[in-house]
Chains A and B, each alone.
Chain A
Amino acid sequence: MIGSIISKNLKILIRSKTSALVVVLGPLLLILLVGLAFNSSGLNDVRLGVYTSAHSDLTNSVLEQLKTKFSVYELETQDNCINGVKAGEFNVCAVFPPDLKVTTSDNIIFYVDYSRMNLVYNIIDTVSSQLEIKSTALSKEMTGNILTRLENARVSLVEKKSALEAASSNTNEIKNSLTEMSTSFKGLELMDMENISLEFKENNLTGTYATSIKNTLEETQDILKTSTTKITELEGVATQSQEDLSSLTTVVTNIINSVSGIEVKDAENIVSPIKTKIEPITTQGANLNYLFPTLLVLIVMFVSMLLSSTSLINEKTTYAYFRNFITPTSDFIFLLGNFFSYWIIVLIELLVIVVASLFFFSQSFLLAALFAFLILALSSVVFILIGMIIGYSFKSSETSNLASISIASVLLFFSNTILPLESLPSWVRDIILFVNPFVLTESALKKVILFGSPIKDQWPAFLILVGFAFILGFFAYVANQATKRRL
C-alpha cells in the first residue's frame, strides 16, 4: 500500500519536469556553486589600511613583512584608514606610532570591524602571526647583539687576565719588598743613633764604643743603599703594574661602552619588541547590534521572495487570472499592481520591525532606523521582483518555494553571513560585491546602523539596487508574458 503511494508520488514528481528539475538541480546547483567557491582554506586578498605620521626603519620593515601576506594600502590620515574599514574597503586599519622603534612603548593599533564576527578573529590571528614573525626576528637580533657584546667582553678579559695576574704578582712583590724594608728599618734604632751621634759630637768620643757606633752606622748605610736599590727596582715594578692596570682600565672602559651601546635594556622590549593593540571601529558592544543588519536583510529577503512567488502562484492558479488577461488593462499594469501589493505588505512588516527595534537600541538609532528603512525598502523591491520572476516561471507553490529558498540560499551563502567573502577567490568576491543584493544591502545597513555613515555615502549601493530593480522588472515582464502563453 505504502509502496503504491510512494510510487505514485514519485511518478507525479518525475513527470512534472519543472518540479523534478528544481528538486534535483536546485540543491545540486547550490552545492556545486558553494563547493567550487569555498573550496579553499584561509583567507584571500585581505586588505590592510595603514597610517603612520612618520615612517621609521622598523615601520618599513614591519610593513614589508605584512605585505608578504596582505594587500597593504597606505592612507594619508588615520580617519581615512578607519573609515576605509567601515566602508569595507579594508579588513583592518593599522595605525603605526610615529618613528616606531623597539624602544618605544607605543602600540601599533589595529582597528577591526567586530560586526564581521566570522572574519575578525581570523584576521586578528593572521595579522598577529605576521607580526609575531617580525617580532621574533627583532627579539633574536637584540638578544644576539647582547650576547655578542658579552662574548667580546669575555674575550677581552681573558686576554688581559695575564696582565692582571702580572700586576697582582708585581703588587705582591712590592708588598714583600716593602715588608722586608720595613723589617730592616725596624732593626735600626735611629733615635738612639741620633742621640749617640749627638753625644759623639759633644764629647768627641773615640774607642770601642765609637767603633761599634761606626760599624752600626756603616751597616745602616748599607741597609739604606740596599733599600734605595730596592726602591728603584720597585719603581720599575710599579711602573709595569701601572701599565697593566692602565690597559685593564681601557678594556673595562670598552666593555662598559659596549654594554652601554645596547639600545634595549628593558626585558619586556626584548621579549616583545613590537607591541600591538586591537581596537573596534565601533562602540557598539552587544552581538545583537552586530547581527541586527544581517538579520534585517535576511527577513526582508525571505519574506519578499516567498511572499511574492507564493502569492503569484496562488493568483495564477485561480481561474480569475485568465479573466485579467482579457480586460483592456495592460499586462504591465497587472505586474505593477501585483508588485505594489507585495511591496506594501513587506513595507508594513519592515516598519513594524524597525519600530520594534527602537526599543532595543538607543534613541540615537532613530535616524539610522529611518535610513535603514529606506535601504531595506529599496532592496525589498529587488527581492520581490526575484520572487515574482519565480512565481511567473513555476506552476506549483511547492516548486516555487523550493526555487525561492534555493536562490535565497545562494545569495546567503555568497555573503558574509556564513563564511566571510574573503574565503572566496578575489575575482569572485569582486563580482559578488556588486551583483549580490543581499551583500549590497547588508553592507549599506551596517554602515548606516553600526558606523553611523550618512545616507549619501550609500548612493553607489542605491544605484546598483535601482539598476537591479529595472533589469529584474524587465525579466518579470518577460516571465509574465511567457506565463500568459502557457495559460
Chain B
Amino acid sequence: MAGFIEIRNLTKIFGKNTVLDNLNLEIPYNKIFGIIGENGSGKTTLLNTLIGFLKPEKGTILFQSLDIFKDMRGVETRFGFATQAGSFYPKLTVEENLYYFGKLYSIPRKELKERVRKLLDLVELTYAKKTLGGSLSTGMKRRLDIACALIHKPVVLILDEPTEDLDPILRKELLNLIRRINEAGTTIIITSHLLEEVEELCDVIAILHKGKLLKIGSPVAIEREYGKNEIVKLQLESRNYQAFVKKIIQAGGKVEDVDYEGEKILIFTPKGEALLNIIMRLSRLGREKIEHVSIERMSLNIIFESIVRGEKGLMS
C-alpha cells in the first residue's frame, strides 16, 4: 500500500529557523522506514509533526488519505511513539506503566489485561513486571518504552533513536524486537544515527538535510546509485596528497571525489583497480613511499556522508 502516509509540502519554522523546508515524502504501509540525517536536520521535528504534536506552518500529512491535523484522534489512536529517553514513569512498575497508558487510551480492563500480558511477552519483560521503571536496565527501559507505545495496538510505530546508548548485544535484541513488531503488521518509522543498523533494518530510507529530503529509496537502491564508486584508501609517507592526486588525474585516473580519514586520503573512483595500478606506477616513478593502500566498496555510511557533503558543496 504505497502512500500509506503522505507528507506534502511540509514546512515547520521555529522563530527564524526553518526546520522542515517544503518536505515531500511517502511512507509505505507495513515497512520499516528509516529517516537519517545529521543533528538538526529535522528528524525529530518531522516525527513530532507526524504524531500531530507540532503543527506545521505549511503543508499537510495524509494518513490513509485523511489529513491528520483534521483527525487528531485518528493519529492518537493509530500512532505509537517511543523516544530514546524512555517515556514512562520511573516510580511505577513495568505493569503499572502499561496499565496507566492503556487506560489513557480507554482500553477496557479485560482487554487491557490481555494486551499487557502479550506485550510483556513480546518485549520479554514478564519476569520484571513488578519492577519499578526506574530500576530497569537501559535495554529493559527501551523495551518498556516500546511496550508503552504499543499498548493501544498502533498501526504505525515511530521510534526516535531507539538503539542510542545500547551495547551491541542489546542493540541486536532490540532490532529483532522491532522486526517482530513489523512482522506483526505494524508500520515502523525509525530514526537513527547508526547507519549500519538502518541499512540492516529498514526497507526504505530517507536522507534529510537541513529540513529537506535529499534522497529516498531502499538501502540497496541507494547503494546501487551511489555505490558505483569504490574508495581507494591511501597513506603516503610524505602526506603530500594534493600533488599526488593531480598526478593520478594527469595519468588518466578517474577521481570522483576525495576525503580524508585521519592520516589517509580517500579517493572515490568508479574504477578502483585501474586507479590502484596508477598509484603503484606513480609511486615507483616518483619514489613516493606508500604506507597503506586498499580498495573498499562504499557503505551507506559513506554514501550518506557523500550525499550530505555534496549538498554542502564539498564534492569535487
Residues of A within 8 A of B (CB): 318-320, 322-329, 487
Residue among A318, A324, A326, A329 with most chain B CB within 10 A: A326
Report whether B104 and A320 are in contact in the complex, using a CB–CB cutoff of 8 Å.
no
Residue among A319, A323, A487 with most chain B CB within 10 A: A323
Q: Smallest CB–CB gap between B84 and chain A, Å?
A: 9
User: B81 an interface residue at 8 Å Cβ cutoff?
Assistant: yes
Report whether B85 and A326 are in contact in the complex, using a CB–CB cutoff of 8 Å.
no
Interface size on B, residues (CB 8 A): 23
- A329/B85 contact (C-beta < 8 A), A318-B90, A323-B148 known: no
Report whether A326 and B53 are in contact in the complex, using a CB–CB cutoff of 8 Å.
yes
In the assembly, what is the distance between CA of A318 and CA of B145, in Å? 13
Q: Smallest CB–CB gap between A481 and chain B, Å?
A: 13
Which residue on B lies nearest to A322, using beta carbons? B87
A sample of 9 cross-chain residue pairs with beta-carbon separation below 8 angstroms, ordered by A number, consists of A322-B87, A323-B87, A323-B101, A324-B104, A326-B52, A326-B76, A326-B81, A327-B152, A329-B105
Complex interface: chain B residues within 8 A of A322 (CB):
53, 83, 87
In the assembly, what is the distance between CA of A464 and CA of B152, in Å? 43
Known: A323-B101, A326-B52. 14 other contacts (CB 8 A): A318-B89, A318-B90, A320-B89, A322-B87, A323-B81, A323-B148, A324-B104, A326-B76, A326-B81, A327-B104, A327-B105, A327-B152, A328-B105, A329-B104
Report whether B76 and A328 are in contact in the complex, using a CB–CB cutoff of 8 Å.
yes
Complex interface: chain B residues within 8 A of A323 (CB):
81, 87-88, 101, 148-149
Query: Of B87, B89, B90, B106, which contacts A328 at CB under 8 A?
Result: B106
Complex interface: chain A residues within 8 A of B19 (CB):
none
Q: Smallest CB–CB gap between A320 and chain B, Å?
A: 5
What 1/0 mask marks residues of chain B from 67 to 98 whose CB sits below 8 Å from any chain A CB? 00000010011010101011111100000010
User: B112 an interface residue at 8 Å Cβ cutoff?
Assistant: no
Complex interface: chain A residues within 8 A of B79 (CB):
326
Complex interface: chain A residues within 8 A of B53 (CB):
322, 325-326, 487
Report whether A327 and B87 are in contact in the complex, using a CB–CB cutoff of 8 Å.
no
Classify the secondary structure of A's interface with B.
loop
Q: Smallest CB–CB gap between B48 and chain A, Å?
A: 9
Query: Of A319, A327, A328, which contacts B85 at CB under 8 A?
Result: A319
Report whether A328 and B83 are in contact in the complex, using a CB–CB cutoff of 8 Å.
no
Complex interface: chain A residues within 8 A of B104 (CB):
324, 327-329
Complex interface: chain A residues within 8 A of B85 (CB):
319
In the assembly, what is the distance between CA of A328 and CA of B89, in Å? 18
In the assembly, what is the distance between CA of A320 and CA of B86, in Å? 7
Which residue on A lies nearest to B103, using beta carbons? A329
Which residue on A lies nearest to B51, using beta carbons? A326
Report whether A319 and B76 are in contact in the complex, using a CB–CB cutoff of 8 Å.
no
Complex interface: chain A residues within 8 A of B89 (CB):
318, 320
Complex interface: chain B residues within 8 A of A325 (CB):
53
In the assembly, what is the distance between CA of A320 and CA of B145, in Å? 9
Q: Smallest CB–CB gap between A290 and chain B, Å?
A: 42
In the assembly, what is the distance between CA of A322 and CA of B148, in Å? 12
